[in-house]
Chains A and B, each alone.
Chain A
Amino acid sequence: MPPPATTNLGYTPPDGGWGWAVVLASFISIGFSYAFPKSLTVYFKEIQEYFGVSYSEIAWVSSVMLATMYAAGPISSVLVNRYGSRPVVMVGGLILGVGMILASLGTSIIHLYLCVGIIGGFGLAFNLQPALTIIGTYFQAKRPLANGLAMTGSPVVLFTLAPLNQFLFDSFGWRGSFLILGAIVLNCCVAGSLMRPVNKMAVPKPKAEPAEVNGAEDAAAEALRTEDNPKSQSCVHRFIDFSLFKHRGFLIYLVGNVVMFFGFFAPVVFLAPYAKHQGIDEYSAAFLLSIFALADMFIRPATGFIGNTKWIRPKIQYFFAFAVSYNGVCHLLCPLLPGYAGLVVYAVFFGFAFGMLSALLFETLMDLVGAKRFSTAVGLCTIIECGPVLLGPPMSGALVDIFGDYKYMYYTCGVFMLVPGLFFFIMHYYNYRKVEEEKHRAAVEMRTAEDRVHLNIDQKDKSEDVMEK
């Protein structure tokens, strides 16, 4: 009987204990990474008047921050591979804090692009990647749940930062607010200090882990590639592991995600303007966003929990494909829903869809490439996804401007999400079959190798017995 493929990590992850503190730390880091650029929009109007620039010039601050956060992914990955998560997150928190403090002394809009956009973006990148990576080192059996809980950080931090930013702005103006925000983001250093490197020497708990629960994919793949490991390890430690581009699962994930991200963020950005376009007043339109955020907040841990169940976990890629397709269907149906009630229904369902997708986004990547190569994989993914993430909302805005109607934008976003969803279903069906075949082959090879070893031992025993006689 082949040994159960509990881990390909070389140790058994604790799946609990200090792991939950690490989940809290990741919650904070991921929350700041995603929510911070969005929450700065509160200050834009006053900064725009102060520097006398147009709105699009000030909106670039957020875009530069987001772009740098995604583009600095590979650098973050290399550092995490080399030094582990903790130092990188603490340095990231420091960089972000220093960036915001320098920004509060800014004298021109370029100054803000540099301090908030580029320096801040680096700080956020150094928070995001390590936070995602360390969950993979602490959790195996409960990983979807841990990922779901950690990703909930994004809506929760956004929900907290939005009114806090408004309060800071009313009390201190934009300069004082940036100074205080610089201190608040230093809490990422606290999160970093919680990210204790996992104890690889710990005695594993005597729990019978069923083999199917764990990442079926990476176990078989690792079993096949044991000879390549020493070589690729040294590459991973120094450069980006480009051999990932030969990994079938990674390619499927990458191609699907690049298409999907074109239509991912635009509907969120245009939800309130679409409502106002239909004649709904500003407060009700803003309330739609709150409904969306609440639905998002509650579905993420729920998705993590569902993804952890023994029925879903082995086929979690299908769950992800379902989430992507569900997003697409939501957008396609949105223009058909009439009035404010229709928009509320859409906001609830879209909130669920968005949260489901976000909770599973990195869990599926971990499932495909394994925890060891996850850091590099996520770095490569973010830098490639940088393009669609940045181009998506302006392209959708252009669609709205050309047609003067929002429904074409929703149809386009719906298509951009439904097609990858179906692509994922088909490709992962094919991929799961291939993985089963490879696992079967590996198992057969191991069995014959073990039989051979046993045969040799018995023969040696027999010959020894004969000799003793």
Chain B
Amino acid sequence: MSASYTHLSCQLLLLLMVCRHVNTKNTTVITEPPVETSGPNTPPVAPLTPLQTGQKSVVLTGENHTEKVEVVNPVTLNLECAWTGNNKRLPNITGYWTKDGKTIETSYSNIQLQNGRYYLRREFSIMNEEDLGTYSCIFDPKAKVDFILAAPYLGEVRDKPIVSYVGDSVVMICKMDEKKPKPLSWNWYKQNGTNKVKIEVDSPGHRYKITKDEKKAKLVVHNLTESDSGLYYCGAVYGIGTSVGYLQLRVITYFEPLKPFIGILVEVLVLVAVILIYEKTGSKKDDQSGAEGNPDQNTNQLHGENAAADGRSSTRQRKV
């Protein structure tokens, strides 16, 4: 029962996608309903699942709009652009589609003004990774809507290099957001020259360890050497293709942080020495001047005491 509800809600969701703002970035995901192995009404898992169809409509009120579309599995996608037109409101204009900037020759068509809008529709068959890209519907001369078709993006990949040390190990993690669909599997690649080399766990030396769970993939490299520096790619594999994120690793020796460490250590020692020496010489000066000054002080005090004593004795005498 739950499977049919999700199926229904999925279709409703797709049909209700209409955007009105200019330059808002909305991401929608087109998925087939999840095939669950529990429950009484699940269909048998066929080797070739029937191709799903999806629909994406955008109403363009300005001149430009970008729509991000996440594609998980092969799908037949109906893209529709509805343009409200400009001041001229010609009854007939031409429109066409492009893929990644290249015009699709067969897509030129004349468009009538219908209900105050110009409609351009086309069906695209998204089968594999090459079919992903940017599809644009263009109304002559200038209005355009870009549909960016891609596999779900990876979340939170560190853009700055990860720093680690020779002989140490490093952990690199790629994560897919909670809300996004789960990838079928994960792969790790290392950049070697200009090609990506897939990392296998049983490579010589047993230095790599790959841990995968549904939303997260972890690559652990032990016994790092400087040649391990470079670009690493993690790929989340979906039916339609792989979504790739990259991480940069920098392996340095312990000498690098040692240089500022010694610098600061020297600074601390110098300051402590200066302060203590200043204090010693300062106190020596005090002692010298104190030895001269103290007799003065002592005599002053003696004078004071004598004066007091004299005062008293004088008063006594005066009394007498």
Contacts and interface: CB of A to CB of B under 8 A. Distances in A.
B272 A189 contact: yes
B258 A468 contact: no
Interface in A117-168: none
Interface string B256-275: 11101111110010011001
Q: Is the interface of A mostly helix, strand, loop or mixed?
A: helix
Interface in A196-224: 196, 203
Contact of A172 (B163, B265, B268, B319): B163
A464 to B, nearest CB: 8
Interface string B134-173: 0000000000000000000000000011111100101101
A182 B254 CA distance: 15
Interface residues of B, number: 31
Contacts, number: 70
A173 B165 CA distance: 9
Interface in A442-458: none
Contacts of A469: 320
B264 A186 contact: yes
Contacts of A203: 297
B162 A183 contact: no
Contacts of B161: 170
Given A173-B164, A176-B256, A461 B268 contact: no
A50 interface: yes
B265 A186 contact: yes
A5 to B, nearest CB: 23
A250 to B, nearest CB: 35
A138 B122 CA distance: 84
Interface in A172-198: 172-173, 175-177, 179-180, 182-184, 186-187, 189-190, 193-194, 196
Task: State the majority secondary structure of interface residues on B.
Answer: helix
A175 B256 contact: no
Contact of A183 (B264, B276, B279, B320): B264
A173 B275 CA distance: 34
A401 interface: no
B257 A190 contact: no
B316 interface: yes
A176 B264 contact: no
A461 B161 CA distance: 92
B257 A180 contact: yes
Contacts of A394: none
A172 B257 contact: yes
Contact of B168 (A170, A175, A190): A175
Contact of A49 (B173, B275, B316): B173
A52 interface: yes
Contacts of B316: 461, 464-465
Nearest to A184: B264
A243 interface: no
Given A173-B164, A175-B168, A469-B320, A193 B272 contact: yes
A171 interface: yes
A17 to B, nearest CB: 12
Contacts of B297: 203
Contacts of A461: 316
Interface string B281-320: 0000000000000000100000000000000000010011
Contacts of B276: 193
A461 B313 CA distance: 10
Nearest to B297: A203
B261 A180 contact: yes
A268 B247 CA distance: 34
Interface string A46-83: 10011010000000000000000000000000000000
Given A49-B173, A203-B297, A468-B320, A180 B271 contact: no
B184 to A, nearest CB: 24
B169 to A, nearest CB: 8
B29 to A, nearest CB: 23
Contacts of B279: 196
A465 B320 contact: yes
Best-buried of B165, B260, B265 by chain A (most CB within 10 Å) = B260
B320 A171 contact: no
Interface in B149-204: 160-165, 168, 170-171, 173
Nearest to A201: B290
A137 to B, nearest CB: 16
Contacts of A50: 170-171
B47 to A, nearest CB: 39
B271 A183 contact: no
Given A175-B165, A179-B257, A469-B320, 12 more contacts: A46-B162, A50-B170, A50-B171, A171-B163, A173-B162, A176-B252, A176-B254, A180-B264, A184-B264, A186-B265, A193-B272, A196-B279
9 contacts: A172-B252, A173-B163, A173-B164, A176-B257, A179-B257, A179-B258, A183-B261, A183-B262, A186-B264
- Across the A-B interface, the 4 shortest Cβ-Cβ residue pairs: A176-B257, A173-B163, A183-B264, A193-B275
Interface of A: 46, 49-50, 52, 170-173, 175-177, 179-180, 182-184, 186-187, 189-190, 193-194, 196, 203, 461, 464-465, 468-469
